[in-house]
Homo-oligomer: A and B are copies of this chain.
Amino acid sequence: MPIRVTVWGEFRHEKRSEEVHKLYPHGMHEAIASFLRKNKDLKVRTATLDQPDNGLTDAVLADTDVLTWWGHLAHSDVQDLICERVVRRVQKGMGFIVLHSGHFSKPFRRLMGTSCDLKWRLGEHKEIVWITKPGHPIAAGLADHFIIPREEMYGEHFDIPEPMETVFISTFTPGGECCRSGVTYTRGAGKIFYFRPGHETYPTYYDPNVQRVITNAVRWAAPTPNSHEQTYGNRLEGWLDQPQPTNNQSRKFPKPTSRKSTTKSK
């Protein structure tokens, strides 16, 4: 079964700026979707901000294993309801790949619980991406570092929670800044990867190393097949003497009454 990927793009810069339009004539999301589509194990669709429900209806999300996210100008135009929908799907197991300026997106900030703020500087910098977790699936096929010839600078302090794994750290020249540029988290059953590169005025998403990282990350973040949804709430005594749930049969396990988040009256 292929991994169902939804590539979400804000798709505003591309309509407003000739420079960006020239670089990404069909939008950055289409550039990303294009290289992902070359992999037979991935089934790729796109979605954009100005579609109904910001492109992320319940049906689309239910049909998504991994969501990638690029946004920048219009974070506040993402509806709160849609943000919550994304957050809940991640908690239930959907992979979430956050790209570049998506660090400031609503769903990423909601999942992190921090400001996700950082330092930045426009202009051409060499970005040197150092592999700090060799052997990690997201670093597959990469040597000890790779270089993106032209990129915007992002610098520490990057206000994120302590990562589960720091896969990449980038340095910038000229400058001297650095940034944790590839970091993993889990929230509930969902895996999250933030990947820094991707300024809209540079051809970053045509870079073969960047493409490789995003492709690796999609596979890494895909939900575990045969994963069981957890049961929460009230649990009566006597369960220990009842027939136990076994491999792959837990869906038949009697679900306890669900606990309501704010009205638990005992």
Instruction: Contact check, A143 vs B253: say whether CB atoms are below 8 A apart.
Output: yes
How many A residues are at the interface, by size bracket?
A: 35 or more
* Copies of this subunit: 4
Instruction: Contact check, A136 vs B264: say whether CB atoms are below 8 A apart.
Output: no
**8 Å CB interface, A231-266 against B:** 231-237, 240, 244-250, 253, 256, 259, 261-266
Instruction: Contact check, A139 vs B224: say whether CB atoms are below 8 A apart.
Output: yes
Interface status of A177 (Cβ within 8 A of chain B): yes
A93-B135, A188-B135, A231-B144 given; A122·B266 CB < 8 A: yes
Instruction: Contact check, A132 vs B104: say whether CB atoms are below 8 A apart.
Output: no
Bound: A156/B137 CA distance, A: 18
Overall SS of chain A's interface: loop
Closest residue to A220 on the B side, CB-wise?
Answer: B224
Query: At the interface with chain B, which of A34-42, A61-69, A105-113?
Result: A105-113
Bound: A230/B143 CA distance, A: 7
Chain B residues within 8 Å of A217, by CB: none
Instruction: Contact check, B118 vs A232: say whether CB atoms are below 8 A apart.
Output: yes
A247-B142, A262-B76 given; A178·B178 CB < 8 A: yes
Chain B residues within 8 Å of A111, by CB: 113
Instruction: Contact check, B225 vs A140: say whether CB atoms are below 8 A apart.
Output: yes
Interface status of A228 (Cβ within 8 A of chain B): yes
A265 CB contact (under 8 Å) in B73, B104, B171, B261: B73
Interface status of A174 (Cβ within 8 A of chain B): yes
Interface status of A82 (Cβ within 8 A of chain B): no
Bound: A248/B212 CA distance, A: 11
Chain B residues within 8 Å of A153, by CB: 235
A226-B141, A232-B159 given; A75·B261 CB < 8 A: yes
Bound: A231/B118 CA distance, A: 8
Closest 4 CB pairs of A and B: A143-B250, A135-B189, A143-B245, A76-B262
A binding-site residues for B, Cβ under 8 Å: 72-76, 87, 91, 93, 101, 104, 110-115, 117-123, 126, 128, 130-137, 139-147, 153, 155-159, 161-162, 164-166, 169, 171, 173-178, 180, 185-191, 208-209, 212, 223-237, 240, 244-250, 253, 256, 259, 261-266
Contacts A117-B259, A157-B230, A208-B246 aside, 13 further interface pairs with beta carbons under 8 A come to A91-B115, A110-B113, A121-B235, A126-B240, A128-B176, A131-B157, A134-B229, A139-B227, A146-B246, A162-B165, A162-B166, A164-B164, A173-B176
